[in-house]
Copies of this chain bind each other. A is one copy, B any other.
């Protein structure tokens, strides 16, 4: 794989943020520094970065994919009120034990997605 200015910018952007941005958000941000950056390129480069394991994709049903620079084991929550994605520190070993106990099938990966209200929204809701 060759060096690419755009791919490097996109990687840095994802790594520097903890808000799990969408491709569109990444593109918009980076246009401040790379005005001709195209959304197609962002999608292509994000796919590449996920493939080579530099970032992670976070899929939420009915939402645009988010991207995450945190590679350590954790799960995600989607807040239905503010629509933000936050990381949940769910013990990897215990979750893994539950998943891997399934007979016959060959498990390669898994994702636990939680829906509800984030801490801030839960507070203001009450």
Contact = CB atoms under 8 A, between A and B. Distances in A.
B115 A112 contact: no
Interface residues of A, number: 38
A52 interface: no
For this chain, the copies found in one complex come to 2
Contact of A112 (B77, B111, B117, B122): B111
Nearest to A120: B104
Contacts of A88: 102, 105
A110 interface: yes
Interface of A: 57, 59, 61-62, 65, 77, 79-80, 86, 88-91, 94-95, 98-99, 101-102, 104-119, 121-122, 125
17 contacts: A59-B62, A79-B105, A89-B102, A90-B101, A94-B94, A94-B98, A95-B98, A98-B98, A105-B114, A105-B119, A107-B114, A107-B116, A109-B115, A110-B112, A111-B112, A111-B115, A113-B113
